[in-house]
Amino acid sequence: MFTGLKRLEYRGYDSSGMCIDAIDAPTPTGRRESASGDGLANGISADGTSSSNGRVEDRSSPIIVKCPGKIENLENLTAEYVQQHNLDTSKVYKHHVAISHTRWATHGVPSSINAHPQVSDANADFVVVHNGIITNYQALKDILKKNGETFVSETDTETIPKLLKFAYDSMTAEAGSGEAQVPFPKLVMEVLTKLEGAYALLIKSRHYPGELVACKRGSPMIVGIKEGPDGSSSSSSKVSSGGLGRAASITRLRDQYNDSHWTGALEAWVASDASAVIEHTKRVVVLEDNDVLHIVGGGYGIYNTRQADVETAVPRRLQVLQLEVDQIMKGGYEHYMQKEIHEQPEAITQSMRGRVKQQKSAEGNPYLQQRIKLGGLVETRDTIRRSRRIMFVACGTSYHAALAARQTVEEMVEVPVVLELASDLLDRCCPIFRDDTCVFVSQSGETADTLRALEYAKARGALCVGITNTVGSAISRATHCGIHQNAGYEIGVASTKAYTSQIICITMMALALAEDSISKRERRDAIIDELGALPDKMRSFMQVQDVAMKELAAQLKDSNSLLFFARGNNYATALEAALKCKEVALIHSEGILAGEMKHGPLALVDEHLPIVVVATRDSMYKKMESVIQQLLARSARLIILCTAGDATMQEYAKRSDCQLIEVPGTVEPLQPILNIVPLQLLAYHMTVLRGHNVDQPRNLAKSVTVTD
């Protein structure tokens, strides 16, 4: 469980917690304090016993350990607890349910009390971990308070276990002692009707020993299934329908396997993403919104609260992950961000694999010019071309990628292109029409703002296209069509390889849409030829720039502020470079559209403030040269990012003592892909030299699955 949590730590890392059963441990004498010392329920659970009325009860409370900080703290605290209480860790149990969580604080500061699991009461009747936000939590809290409940934490999550307990107690009281216990998933479904907002929940209860219920709406969740003594499985993944409840679930899983394969043993790993599961199994089910997963007695069943008959299991496909453990390890690198920067030549190659044809077949024949093949857009290509406008919607780095490629789409498709930050689009209730194409760009495919914007656009009848790095993600599934980036797992919170790969994908999309245009053919061919050369160009300067940027980082690391000036599609380079410096190096920095320089930013210029000017050889070159002259006239401290071997820039450098960052030249639409690489390296090295956490920067999370 700790390994799984560490794999997910990139999603949130300010506090963590876990809850396990402690079967066979000495029966607790009275109530104990939890290891977190926050006065929450804790104890040691015993094996469930069946009473005559069929109810399964667990007499004591589970162990809960929680603390602020890294998973390492949780490991240490747990080890201390185990030692103090003499728990036998060598025992193997037939049934065991454990849940854990790594938190990114939204409601309440990072602390032991606010960390998850959250519990229903001092005995921990119901224990819950939650990813997402319950938006109506205040109203629920008020109702529960009126019923005499007291709240320990500041979280929205605490309302959930309390509601579960409330519902369980009322349903049990109503049913009377002779009745069978309400099935666990049914109880959870009852409570879900009261929740608004987004959630992925794991729930365990001492009333249901050996059972787990997981459910989701809005936030991602997968379950990895490992069965048989050696994890071997039959080929069938058929899920037959069965009724909600224990016996039905067990039978159903058995139905999936030949008797010879079925051992009765099941390990199920439920997590927010595949990285936490991959060590155990590659066979996963991606849960859909409103799914309720019930794991019990060596089997599982999935129900959906939106289907007419909630008591009948829904079929969900068991998929095999195309992910290897070493893809989520650091390899020989010290940090994920460093590894991912260096992986970029390979990542963009993967994004283009099977999609970009290098040879010009049937030279001269305009009808046989298909050199870009995007399987995902074949059916919708004409609709996109006929759109009234193309709107890109994204957040953070993904927005910058759309900005970097906007001009290429405008030039190739000749349809108005607009860019929207997802949160702003929603805030403004931006008008969207049926003849719009909306392209949602998201590395994770699960950013809440982008996902909400997608729902908004879909409801207005727009064609929704996804560009995402995560197959099976919410955005990949909810869009009408799209392009998978295939850039490989990105773990560092600061996005690097996903950015360059997104620019490649949007550029490929523009080129595919312009396929029939004879007037664009020459330009299109030039860009496609350069796409082929790009990975090697990137490789050729990566090592040299790594050393050079480390030196430059040493000079700039104590700066209070950094500016990046650019124009044209490199405006995105300036914004993205500034974002990297902010998010990981924790240096104030701004990306400035050089055309706006005279309208304010020039006032900041003096001999101390470092300014990086992007002036590679493209259509903006002359204008950028003029910017350089104006800045030098004000004694600015300049670093010029230019095309390798540019004699004019070398002359400026000599005369004015400014530094150069030289990158290989390419066609204008692809230049931002090369230009960003040294600036990513600069941000990386400044972060290391300043002693900050590279992969888990302060206050940030990789996947922002909450809005507001």
- Contacts with ligand BG6 in 90-109 (CB under 6 A)? none
Q: Which does 483 bind (CB under 5 to 8 A by kind): ligand UD1, ligand BG6, none?
A: ligand UD1
* Cα 115 → chain centroid: 20
Q: Which is nearer to ligand UD1, 250 or 483 (CB)?
A: 483
Quick note: the x/- pattern for ligand UD1 over 577-616, rule CB under 6 A, is ----------------------------------------
- Residue 220 is a binding residue for ligand UD1 (CB under 6 A): no
Separation CA 582–CA 394 (nearest Å): 19
Q: Determine which residue in the list 375, 416, 461, 645 makes contact with ligand UD1, applying CB under 6 A.
A: 375
CA angle 35, 41, 42 (to 5 degrees): 55
- For strand 197-205 and strand 126-134, is the pairing parallel, antiparallel, or unpaired? antiparallel
Of 169, 12, 24, residue with least CA distance to 91 = 24
Separation CA 80–CA 75 (nearest Å): 9
Q: Determine which residue in the list 120, 290, 304, 479 makes contact with ligand UD1, applying CB under 6 A.
A: 479
Interacting span for ligand BG6 (CB under 6 A) from 174-182, 248-256, 438-446, 529-537: 438-446
- Residue 702 is a binding residue for ligand BG6 (CB under 6 A): yes
Separation CA 415–CA 367 (nearest Å): 22
Separation CA 371–CA 199 (nearest Å): 43
- What 3-state class would DSSP assign to 312? strand
Strand residue runs (E) in 411-532: 417-421, 436-442, 463-468, 481-484
Are 617 and 640 in contact by the 8 Å Cβ rule? The answer is: no
Q: Which does 476 bind (CB under 5 to 8 A by kind): ligand UD1, ligand BG6, none?
A: ligand UD1
- Residue 481 is a binding residue for ligand UD1 (CB under 6 A): yes
- What 3-state class would DSSP assign to 250? helix
Q: Determine which residue in the list 112, 233, 281, 495 makes contact with ligand BG6, applying CB under 6 A.
A: 495
- Rounded least distance, CB 483 to ligand UD1, Å: 5
Check whether the bond before 117 is cis (ω within 30° of 0): yes
Interacting span for ligand UD1 (CB under 6 A) from 24-32, 478-486, 487-495, 532-540: 478-486
Q: Which does 450 bind (CB under 5 to 8 A by kind): ligand BG6, ligand UD1, none?
A: ligand BG6
CA atoms within 13 A on the CB side of 414: 6
Quick note: the x/- pattern for ligand UD1 over 448-477, rule CB under 6 A, is ------------------x-x--x---xx-
Q: Any idea which residue has 């956490």 for tokens?
A: 693
* Cα 317 → chain centroid: 22
Are 503 and 666 in contact by the 8 Å Cβ rule? The answer is: no
Q: Determine which residue in the list 20, 164, 314, 395 makes contact with ligand BG6, applying CB under 6 A.
A: 395
Are 498 and 404 in contact by the 8 Å Cβ rule? The answer is: no
Quick note: the x/- pattern for ligand UD1 over 338-367, rule CB under 6 A, is ----------------x-------------
- Rounded least distance, CB 215 to ligand BG6, Å: 23
- Residue 376 is a binding residue for ligand UD1 (CB under 6 A): yes
Residues that bind ligand BG6 (CB under 6 A): 395-398, 442-444, 447, 450, 493-495, 700, 702-704
Residues that bind ligand UD1 (CB under 6 A): 354, 375-376, 466, 468, 471, 475-476, 479, 481-484
